[in-house]
Amino acid sequence: MPRICCSKLYFLHIPKTGGAWLGRVLPSRQVDGSEHSHVLGKLAEKRTVFTIVRSPASWLISLWGHFDRHGRGMSEPPGFVMGEMAQQLLTDCYKWDMKCETFLLNYLQNHRGKVTKIFDQYTEHADRVLHTERLRTGLAQLLYEVGDLTPELQKKIFEMPKFNCMPDSQRIHKVHANVSQDLRNQVNFWEWRPL
C-alpha cells in the first residue's frame, strides 16, 4: 500500500521487504489505492518516490511464512495488495502445509523470473530503490539527500531493531536458516539483477 512518509517522500510498499520496520522508524500515513500509476499522480508530484526490494530467495521465504501463518484452513492464499501476478504465483506454487523448500522448488519449476517482474511493477515508478539487506544506510542516505535526516532520526534508524515484528517471527527466522544456500542461490540466479 502506498504511503506518504513526510513532505518529501512517498513510499511504494512491496510487502515483506521491511515496510513494518520503516513504519516504526518513519511514521507515515497510508494512501488508498493498489494501482500505483493512478495513485502516484499528484500525491507524489513534489516528493521523492521510493520503494524497497529484497533478495528474491529471502522474499519468497518470507512470503511463504506469511501464508503459512495466516492461511491455515483457507482454500486459497490470503490476499495481499500486490497485484494479479503475485497472487497467481502464490496460487500456483503454494499448497497448505507445504514445506518452504517444496514451495521454492515449485517456484523454480514454474515461475522463474516472476519475482523480478513483480518488483518491476513498483521500481518502474520509483526515483530510488532501497534494498532490505542495506536498509539502514539506504534510508539514512535518502533522508540526508532530501534534507530530512536529523540527528535524532539517524540515531533511531541505526538503533531500531530490524528483525521482523510479526508474532511468530522466530519460527520464520528458523525456516530462513534451514533453507539450503544452494536452493537460495538457484532462486537468486534466475531473479537477481542489479537495480
Query: Is the CB of residue 57 less than 8 Å from the CB of residue 188?
Result: yes
Residue recorded with cell 497472487: 87
- pLDDT tens digits in sequence order for the chain, 195 residues long: 667 777 788 888 888 898 888 888 887 776 654 445 555 566 667 789 899 999 999 998 888 887 777 665 454 555 555 667 777 777 777 776 678 898 899 889 888 888 988 898 889 889 999 999 899 999 999 999 999 899 999 999 999 886 655 555 666 677 777 888 899 889 988 886 654
pLDDT value at position 53?
A: 93
Per the structure, the count of domains in the chain is 1
Query: Among candidates 23, 72, 78, which has minimal Cα distance to 52?
Result: 23
pLDDT value at position 16?
A: 86
Q: Which domain holds residue 135?
A: 3-191
Amino acid at 20: A
- Whole-model pTM: value is 0.82
Residue 62 makes CB contacts below 8 A (sequence gap 6+) with: 16, 54, 164, 172, 176
